[in-house]
Structure 1
Amino acid sequence: MRKRVLLAAFTALAAATATFGVRLVTADAATTATAAATTAAQVKAPAAFTHPGVLVSRAQLDFVKGKLAEKAQPWTAAYNQMAASRYASLSRTPAPRATVECGSYSNPNNGCTDEREDAIAAYTDALIWYYTGNTAYAQKSIALMDAWSATIKSHTNSNAPLQTGWAGSVWPRAAEIIKHAYGTWPNQARFATMLRNVYLPVVIAGSSSNGNWELSMMEAAVGIAVHLDDKASYDRAIARFQARTAAYVYIAADGSQPKYPPVGSVDTRAELISYWQGQSTFVDGLSQETCRDFVHTGYGLSAISHVAETTRIQGQDLWPTVSERMRHALGFHTKFENGTAVPSTICGGSVVKGLGPVTEVAYNALANRLGIAMSNSRTYTESRRPQGTNNLFVAWETLTHANNPA
């Protein structure tokens, strides 16, 4: 059986995947020209990172703060949802562990839920502080981050890489707001050391598992690299992210079948069909996990949107490059979520729905900023506002990204 020779370096991956075969459908020719000119070299780390700069920027935060002052919707309802959640409780007690053990589907669950939810709580508190100025929330965010940075040493068991990716995606969002907007954080350096030593070595290595794993891990790696001002890790993570994104969502420009994953042993059509959950008919927007279920597909699409948004904030915008895959992926999956019957050629005519609260970031970037018509995605997104949290790594994105032009 033919086996592809695995690439030895992520820089080679960057060169091999610089162009995804994108056919943009945008509001103007200028956007198409921008996408055509986008290369891997242009999305390397900026000369200086922008802070706060992981998923949300200062301008985005200020836009929402202004809308909340006006009591405008959907931001006010989204804020109230967040403020009423358990993550916003000032009486929350952090539950750090030196070793977080997570088996398949978090069984065993020794600290897995605690870690993820403390990270979401730290981010929630940071957002509330920014929007309200109530320093008690900044201090609670700091207390949560300090508790974990003083304790955690490793993640173990089969889900350790994914758990590291999920928690590692959220911690930098909170840390960016506290360090660069609040500013008073005596143990910030210890927290940075935790990210560098406990999280980054795991996530930067990537994964040959289902694509949502590696995409979440690259989201964590990119966010951590921004927070640490680590250009080398940023470049390495972005290169792997580009390769995995191209292999996760199919578009017709790929040819008769999806791209092979960037690592692992899948390198024949038969193996590829098995990896794509038995699906042998490929249509625009189908993902590697569509026929598994929409929940895991949503994880992957969310991670893609988060990384693309962070690159935009950093001045190296990947949205034009991933727009064709993402517009099709969102439209394809939200169409079925909205009630369209599943044809027999897709997953045998039956899918497991549950995409989740994952569309706001991409819908805002593609429909509002790039002017791409996305009627299915709009129906799904607007009918589910305010989109809250999946209790893993997605949180409050109607609040932070709905109709946000910043």
Structure 2
Amino acid sequence: MTRLRPLLVTVALSLIASTAVLFAAPPSTAAPAAFKHPGVLVNKAQLDFARQQVQSGAQPQTAAYNAMKGSSYGALSYTPKPRAIVECGSNSNPNNGCSDERNDALAAYTHALLWYFTNDDRYAKKAIQIMDAWSAVLQDHTNSNAPLQTGWSGASFSRTGELIKHTYGGSWAQRGRFENMLRTVYLPEVRNGAGCKNGNWELIMTDAAIGIAVFLDDKAAFDKAVSIWRGRLPGYVYQTTDGAWPKAPSTCSSKDTREEIVAYWQGQSTFSNGLAQETCRDFGHTGWGLTAATHVAETAWHQGVNLYGEAGKRLTDGYYFHTRYETGTAVPSNLCGGTVKLGLGAVSEIVYNHYHNRLGQQMPTTLAYTESKRPAGANYFFAWETLTHANNPR
């Protein structure tokens, strides 16, 4: 026992230090003096590590890379379908360019990644072709889903532009036009949040806003995105330290009574750590909200702003709460009337990478769920995250 004591003390001190880093890191409050590029969702060190893994045949990156390269998004024959006005109603009905724009943005990002992994400039040129096609004609997003549609597509387009601008040395003659499209068509639609809409809207919009801000080196837009995130996350994922019921998001001041909050939280009146505002709607939209929140924190992390630390247990509890039901835990009667709509999606790779691989936190339930979804594909506004973030703490 005497011999074990020093070891136990060392382990205890290590755990204390890890916990201090995780939950007590002093928050950065503003954009960096200079943005780091590439630094929208992924940085160069992560990309270099992932490329090395693929070149050596390591898993799970190699399977993820093969899935990406073999997807329709990665075909060099891919043809964009731009239009001047993208009209998207509720549930994308009407769908006048909505699916086309989302798919083109995902294809552009896919080709940007393929460029980096292969050094084949045909992929960079295809990414540029897609971006140029849209920047030549797009004027506006309209109808009720316009802010969400702008968030979905703007998130992928900002990542694409960031990678091509900062890793490709070839010609991109219309880069200024693409930058202007993000600045004048996309950013005004997403930068001020979504008010009292379901939380996945605002988080997805903020994901796009922070990506555009970094790509454009726009410090004011970056600070605005961080502020929106800080006001929304406590209004999306509950912690018992919030009080007897969840807080209202900062952009939704009309929800100021318990009854209004319960109605906003899909009628759920029993609250526990990790419950989300859309849990009792369905896990699919909840997964979108959680992963968009994580994307914002990841981009901020690359820019020296530790939103992960500010989130504390809120993010990890949110993922644990939902992945445990996805992996077989019985649903209690006081949660959504005893029935939930599963289908969280492949949304947990990045959060697991940060809290486990960077900070050493044990997350076995989230890990089991993450591994069951590998290799993660592409959907709406997230793509190939097993490739870029699995076991990749850079």
TM, length-normalised to structure 2: 0.94
Give the secondary-structure state (helix, strand or coil) at the position aligned to 1:28.
helix
Contact between 1:294 and 1:354, CA under 8 Å: does it hold in 2?
yes
1:27, CA displacement in angstroms? 6.3
Instruction: Note the residue ranges of structure 2 that are not aligned, 5 or more in a row.
Output: 1-12
Partner of 1:188: 175
Give the secondary-structure state (helix, strand or coil) at the position aligned to 1:92.
coil
Partner of 2:26: 38
Give runs of aligned pairs for residues 140-289 of structure 1, distance below 5 A: 140-184=126-170, 185-208=172-195, 209-264=197-252, 265-289=254-278
Structure 2 CA distance for partners of 1:233 and 1:27, relative to 1, 3 Å = farther
Give the secondary-structure state (helix, strand or coil) at the position aligned to 2:87.
strand
Contact between 2:275 and 2:321, CA under 8 Å: does it hold in 1?
yes
Give the secondary-structure state (helix, strand or coil) at the position aligned to 1:63.
helix
Structure 1 position 128 matched with structure 2 position 109: no
1:320, CA displacement in angstroms? 1.4
Partner of 2:336: 347
Contact between 1:43 and 1:317, CA under 8 Å: does it hold in 2?
no
Letter in 2 for 1:306: H
Aligned mates of 2:25, 2:159 — CA distance in 1: 30
Give runs of aligned pairs for residues 64-79 of structure 1, distance below 5 A: 64-79=50-65
Give aligned pairs, total.
Answer: 378
Letter in 1 for 2:192: A
Aligned mates of 1:153, 1:182 — CA distance in 2: 27
In angstroms, what is the RMSD of aligned CA positions? 1.2
Give the secondary-structure state (helix, strand or coil) at the position aligned to 2:141.
strand
1:252, CA displacement in angstroms? 1.3
Aligned mates of 2:283, 2:169 — CA distance in 1: 40
Letter in 1 for 2:132: D
Aligned mates of 2:248, 2:193 — CA distance in 1: 15
Give the secondary-structure state (helix, strand or coil) at the position aligned to 2:179.
helix
1:28, CA displacement in angstroms? 3.2
Structure 2 CA distance for partners of 1:50 and 1:302, relative to 1, 3 Å = same
Show CA shifts across 1:100-128 (max 9, x none). Answer: 00000000000000000100000000001
Structure 1 position 28 matched with structure 2 position 41: no
Show CA shifts across 1:345-386 (max 9, x none). Answer: 110110000000110000111111122221110110012211
Partner of 2:80: 94
Give the secondary-structure state (helix, strand or coil) at the position aligned to 1:202.
helix
How many percent identity over aligned positions?
Answer: 58
Contact between 2:192 and 2:228, CA under 8 Å: does it hold in 1?
no
Contact between 2:18 and 2:360, CA under 8 Å: does it hold in 1?
no
The correspondence for 1:299, drawn from 285, 288, 300, is 288
Structure 1 position 317 matched with structure 2 position 306: yes
Aligned mates of 2:263, 2:20 — CA distance in 1: 37
Give the secondary-structure state (helix, strand or coil) at the position aligned to 2:382.
coil
Contact between 2:274 and 2:315, CA under 8 Å: does it hold in 1?
yes
Aligned mates of 1:372, 1:33 — CA distance in 2: 12
Aligned mates of 2:41, 2:86 — CA distance in 1: 25
Instruction: Note the residue ranges of structure 1 that are not aligned, 5 or more in a row.
Output: 1-25
Contact between 1:102 and 1:108, CA under 8 Å: does it hold in 2?
yes
Show CA shifts across 1:132-181 (max 9, x none). Answer: 11110000000000000111000000000000011111101111110000
Contact between 1:27 and 1:372, CA under 8 Å: does it hold in 2?
no
Partner of 1:6: none
Aligned mates of 1:28, 1:316 — CA distance in 2: 23
TM, length-normalised to structure 1: 0.91
1:237, CA displacement in angstroms? 1.1
Aligned mates of 2:31, 2:347 — CA distance in 1: 26
Letter in 1 for 2:338: G
Aligned mates of 1:37, 1:377 — CA distance in 2: 23
Give the secondary-structure state (helix, strand or coil) at the position aligned to 1:279.
coil
